[in-house]
């Protein structure tokens, strides 16, 4: 079946602009996670969704970052007023349930802020 998909695959933006990154989890997966992979910080957890609610937002680096999930499916990660340090690969993962240990990752969105 279809895996986790993310769009766009690449995004180049100018400093100060807002960007939206999209994640389509595997159908039926109730848990959804966002991670960021950057040269300086490695792979970091950003936020966790169970259904449409986000009980753990502890990894969001600043208030410029927000995320939502609608219909228990698609999630968007929004970065406002982008900065150069936001350049990274943003990875989305989903799992069947919150206690399910296996997370399935999408291919990521590579964000470059000029």
Partner 1 sequence: AQSVTQLDSQVPVFEEAPVELRCNYSSSVSVYLFWYVQYPNQGLQLLLKYLSGSTLVKGINGFEAEFNKSQTSFHLRKPSVHISDTAEYFCAVSPLLSGGYNKLIFGAGTRLAVHP
Are the CB atoms for 8 and 108 separated by under 8 Å?
Answer: no
C-alpha to C-alpha distance for 77 and 61, rounded to whole angstroms? 12
Work out whether 80 is an interface residue with partner 1 (CB under 8 A): no
Binder of partner 1 out of 79, 93, 111, 113 (CB under 8 A)? 93
Residues 13-52 that bind partner 1 (CB under 8 A): 31, 33, 35, 42-45, 48, 50
Work out whether 7 is an interface residue with partner 1 (CB under 8 A): no
- Alpha-carbon distances of 48 from 10, 11, 56, 59, 68, rounded to whole Å: 23, 23, 5, 9, 10
Work out whether 90 is an interface residue with partner 1 (CB under 8 A): no
Work out whether 53 is an interface residue with partner 1 (CB under 8 A): no
C-alpha to C-alpha distance for 36 and 22, rounded to whole angstroms? 14
Work out whether 12 is an interface residue with partner 1 (CB under 8 A): no
Show the tokens assigned to 73: 């499916």
In the complex, which residues of this chain contact partner 1 (CB under 8 A)?
Answer: 4, 31, 33, 35, 42-45, 48, 50, 55-56, 91, 93, 95, 98-108
């Amino acid at each position: 079946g279809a895996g986790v998909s993310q769009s766009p695959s690449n995004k180049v933006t100018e400093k100060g602009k807002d960007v939206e990154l999209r994640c389509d989890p595997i159908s039926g997966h109730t848990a959804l996670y966002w991670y960021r992979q950057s040269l300086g910080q490695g792979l970091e957890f950003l936020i966790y969704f169970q259904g449409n609610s986000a009980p753990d937002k502890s990894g969001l680096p600043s208030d410029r970052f927000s995320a939502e999930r609608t219909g228990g499916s698609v999630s968007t990660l929004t970065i406002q007023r982008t900065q150069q340090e936001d350049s990274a690969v943003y990875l989305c993962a989903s799992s069947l349930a919150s206690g399910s240990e296996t997370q399935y990752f999408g291919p990521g969105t590579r964000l470059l802020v000029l």
